[in-house]
């Protein structure tokens, strides 16, 4: 949350973004060859290191001048000072510290043996080692002679087709390319060991004897050198603090170079965001994108603008259809906020952000059967933690809260939680929901803004949802994934069921039941809104009784049919303005 630190990182990332040669050289020539230095230091600290680990530390030390030379080659004065302070000066210091380690390894370790993956002390350090080394060298000479003898016998080239190798499983043996494998078939003097991708491994009786002798001498060599190895490892272990500090610098470099790499290689390049000091400024993103979604194949990501302005649009309520992009919209804002605060460039064409003290998210649906936590209980636990933790400078992301319980309970919780965040906490927040009634919050609180995901709705005339019912036309829904101001009062959940090829009977029944529920809810709400007092009820009852008596008299006098009786009833009602205006009669008519 330190603005100076964020801007310093941004400047370093900008240096790697603008200098392609510097970035690629560090990635491909230097960083790729560095082992896990923290793990290496731990092995030294736990006294589990061996000579191979000492050699790895040495190999890192001899690569440091390459890093320093690359940074010294930077000519841009705008970034040179920052790079020197963060990397070059520190690497020079560590390179000087490793000078003694480098000298010790070059003096004591047989670096020529590394080509055969052997990690041994030089034989010059001990008379016993010198004697064993002479015997090993003589054996190697005999092995080479056997190699050439076998090559002549099989008529194979020792440079291209027949190789002498120290194989991990079989030890010293011959390898013949797979194309030439038939050369040793049905020849008793050659024993086939295994067949792998790179060829056929085989041996001879003489080679087997020499391999056994070589293994025995190597074991003696290692036993004799163990005391010297322990001393070398002990000296190398004293460099642990330097190795750990170097690991921190190279890890920092690796991360920032990676930031620059993704910023440059995204489908549309990232931009450097303007970051405001904590507690000031707004979060305004132009043509924001989700950094993971836009990298998928065959996807043309629809960009959206974001505006979190203090006292104007601090709390965003996003409604819209299922699969319309609500969750992606709110998640990409959280990801962009995180990327900006760790010093990375962000996937926008223009961006300014304030510093958040924390990003609190309640997204997805999960339960834990082992802990006895249901999906709804998990939602409530996460939301409770948000309400306890959030401050005025937090970013809160809530995705469809209240799905795991009844509609009324879920809506009540969603409203209460939203109002608490707006009124009591005052944090920047985004709430994606299917409770369309929640959008009424902006009538009370001006800092609440309603957004919705756009969907284009068309009618396919003649294509009906149920056979013989031409009144219920099938709607063609096209999701546009664009977020704009306003309210959406439909979720198109049944449309998603159609997309995943639900049985048509199930889809038709779902539509019918949804329509029935909407009709019932609408009538119920109309009745509730028509409140009649006792005087209206008495007056309405009297007028209704008079109208019914009049209707009965006329029906009996004229001997009307059923259709005519209904028409007469409508005629009498339409002609009685006082009855139509009566609240009690309106409530009866609605039912």
Say whether pLDDT at 587 is over 90: no
Q: Cα separation of 544 and 538, whole Å?
A: 10
Note down the domain range covering 21. 3-120+228-265
Tell me what pLDDT residue 477 has: 72
Domain assignment present for 528 = no
The dihedrals phi and psi of 350, each to the nearest 5 degrees, come to: -160, 140
The dihedrals phi and psi of 289, each to the nearest 5 degrees, come to: -135, 160
C-beta of residue 221 within 8 angstroms of C-beta of residue 132: yes
**pLDDT tens, 520-530?**
554 444 444 44
**Beta carbons within 10 angstroms of residue 449's beta carbon:** 21
438 and 310 both lie in a single domain: yes
115 and 28 both lie in a single domain: yes
194 and 135 both lie in a single domain: yes
Say whether pLDDT at 533 is over 70: no
What share of the chain in percent tops pLDDT 70? 91
Domain assignment present for 387 = yes
Q: Give the mean pLDDT of the chain.
A: 86
Length of the chain: 591
**pLDDT tens, 333-354?**
999 999 999 999 999 999 999 9
Say whether pLDDT at 469 is over 60: no
518 and 578 both lie in a single domain: no
C-beta of residue 330 within 8 angstroms of C-beta of residue 318: yes
Tokens of 26: 């560090």
Tell me what pLDDT residue 526 has: 45
Question: For 191-195, 198-202, 503-507, which range has the lowest pLDDT when averaged over its residues?
Answer: 503-507
Q: pLDDT higher for 155 or 515?
A: 155
Tell me what pLDDT residue 530 has: 44
Query: Which DSSP string corresponds to 388-409?
Result: HH--TT-EEEEESTTTTS-HHH
pTM > 0.95? no
Average pLDDT over residues 452-480: 57
Domain assignment present for 466 = no
Q: pLDDT higher for 68 or 114?
A: 68
Q: Cα separation of 145 and 138, whole Å?
A: 11
Tell me what pLDDT residue 367 has: 61
Q: Beta strand 199-203 with 191-196: parallel, antiparallel or unpaired? A: antiparallel
Average pLDDT over residues 407-433: 91
481 and 497 both lie in a single domain: no
Name the range with the highest mean pLDDT among 359-368, 392-401, 516-525: 392-401
**pLDDT tens, 535-571?**
777 787 888 888 888 888 888 888 788 888 888 888 8
Residue 138 CB-half CA count within 13 A: 8
Domain assignment present for 529 = no
Q: Cα separation of 570 and 449, whole Å?
A: 47
**pLDDT tens, 36-84?**
999 999 999 999 999 899 999 999 999 999 999 999 998 888 899 999 9
Angle at 154 between CA 153 and CA 155, to 5 degrees: 95
Say whether pLDDT at 471 is over 50: no
Name the domain count of the chain: 5
Tell me what pLDDT residue 535 has: 76
Say whether pLDDT at 143 is over 60: yes
Three-state DSSP class for residue 451? strand
Of 291, 272, 280, give the one whose Cα is nearest residue 350: 272
346 and 443 both lie in a single domain: yes
Of 448, 64, 33, 445, give the one whose Cα is nearest residue 242: 64
The dihedrals phi and psi of 185, each to the nearest 5 degrees, come to: -70, 140
Question: For 8-22, 45-59, 509-523, which range has the lowest pLDDT when averaged over its residues?
Answer: 509-523
103 and 159 both lie in a single domain: no
Grade residue 518 by pLDDT with cuts at 50, 70 and 90: low
Grade residue 459 by pLDDT with cuts at 50, 70 and 90: low
Domain assignment present for 467 = no
Q: Cα separation of 546 and 552, whole Å?
A: 10
CATH of the domain at 164: 1.10.1420.10
Say whether pLDDT at 269 is over 70: yes
Average pLDDT over residues 26-35: 92
Helix (H), strand (E) at residue 339: helix 326-341
Q: Cα separation of 379 and 360, whole Å?
A: 13
Domain assignment present for 309 = yes
**pLDDT tens, 394-411?**
999 999 887 777 878 888
133 and 107 both lie in a single domain: no
Average pLDDT over residues 256-262: 95
133 and 90 both lie in a single domain: no
Average pLDDT over residues 445-449: 93
What share of the chain in percent tops pLDDT 90? 49
191 and 246 both lie in a single domain: no
Question: For 83-97, 160-174, 549-563, which range has the lowest pLDDT when averaged over its residues?
Answer: 549-563
Tell me what pLDDT residue 532 has: 53
Say whether pLDDT at 388 is over 90: yes
Say whether pLDDT at 127 is over 90: no
Tell me what pLDDT residue 582 has: 80
Q: Cα separation of 141 and 143, whole Å?
A: 5
Say whether pLDDT at 326 is over 50: yes
423 and 454 both lie in a single domain: yes
**Beta carbons within 10 angstroms of residue 328's beta carbon:** 20
Domain assignment present for 260 = yes
Domain assignment present for 313 = yes
Of 490, 432, 480, 486, give the one whose Cα is nearest residue 454: 480
137 and 212 both lie in a single domain: yes
């Amino acid at each position: 949350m330190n603005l100076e630190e964020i801007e310093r990182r941004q400047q370093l990332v900008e240096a790697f973004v603008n200098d392609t040669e510097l970035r690629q050289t560090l990635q491909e020539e230097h960083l790729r060859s560095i082992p896990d230095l923290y793990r290496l230091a731990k092995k030294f600290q736990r006294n589990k290191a061996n000579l191979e680990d000492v050699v790895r530390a040495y190999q890192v030390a001899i690569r440091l001048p390459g890093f320093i030379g690359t940074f010294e080659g930077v000519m841009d004065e705008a970034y040179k000072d920052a790079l020197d302070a963060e990397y070059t000066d520190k690497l020079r210091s560590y390179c000087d510290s490793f000078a003694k380690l480098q000298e010790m390894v070059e003096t004591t370790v047989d670096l020529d043996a590394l080509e055969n993956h052997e990690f041994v002390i030089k034989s010059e350090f001990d008379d016993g080692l010198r004697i064993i080394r002479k015997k090993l060298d003589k054996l190697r000479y005999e092995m080479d002679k056997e190699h050439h003898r076998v090559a002549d016998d099989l008529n194979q080239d020792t440079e291209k087709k027949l190789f002498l190798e120290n194989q991990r499983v079989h030890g010293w043996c011959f390898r013949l390319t797979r194309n030439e494998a038939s050369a040793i078939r049905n020849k008793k003097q050659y024993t086939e060991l295994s067949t792998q991708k790179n060829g056929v491994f085989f041996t001879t009786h003489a080679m087997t004897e020499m391999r056994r002798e070589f293994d025995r001498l190597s074991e003696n060599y290692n036993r004799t050198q163990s005391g010297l190895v322990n001393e070398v490892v002990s000296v190398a272990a004293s460099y642990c603090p330097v190795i750990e500090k170097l690991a921190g610098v190279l890890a920092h470099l690796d991360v920032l170079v990676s930031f620059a790499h993704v910023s440059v290689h995204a489908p549309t390049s990232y931009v450097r965001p303007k970051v405001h000091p904590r507690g000031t400024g707004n979060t305004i993103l132009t043509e924001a994108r989700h950094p993971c979604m836009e990298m998928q194949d065959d996807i043309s990501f629809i960009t959206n603008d974001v505006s979190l302005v203090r006292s104007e649009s601090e709390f965003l309520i996003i409604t819209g259809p299922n699969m319309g992009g609500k969750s992606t919209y709110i998640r990409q804002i959280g990801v962009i906020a995180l990327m900006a605060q760790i010093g990375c460039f962000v996937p926008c064409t223009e961006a300014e952000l304030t510093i958040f003290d924390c990003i609190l998210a309640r997204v997805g649906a999960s339960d834990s059967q082992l802990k006895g936590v249901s999906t709804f209980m998990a939602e409530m636990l996460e939301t409770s933690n948000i309400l306890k933790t959030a401050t005025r400078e937090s970013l809160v992301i809530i995705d469809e809260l209240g799905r795991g319980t009844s509609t009324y309970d879920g809506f009540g919780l969603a409203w209460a939680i939203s109002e608490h965040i707006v009124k009591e906490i005052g944090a920047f927040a985004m709430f994606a929901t299917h409770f369309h009634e929640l959008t009424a919050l902006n009538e009370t609180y001006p800092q609440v803004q309603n957004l919705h995901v756009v969907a284009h709705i068309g009618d396919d005339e003649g294509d009906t949802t149920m056979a013989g019912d031409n009144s219920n036309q099938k709607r063609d829904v096209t999701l546009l994934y664009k977020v704009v101001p306003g309210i959406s009062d439909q979720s198109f959940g049944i449309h998603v069921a159609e997309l995943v090829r639900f049985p048509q009977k199930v889809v038709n029944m779902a539509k019918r039941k949804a329509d029935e529920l909407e009709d019932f809810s609408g009538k119920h709400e109309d009745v509730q809104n028509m409140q009649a007092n006792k005087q209206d009820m008495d007056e309405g009852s009297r007028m209704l009784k008079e109208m019914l008596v009049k209707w009965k008299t006329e029906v009996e006098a004229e001997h009307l049919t059923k259709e005519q009786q209904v028409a007469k009833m409508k005629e009498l009602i339409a002609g009685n303005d006082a009855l139509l205006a009566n609240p009690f009669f309106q409530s009866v008519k609605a039912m």
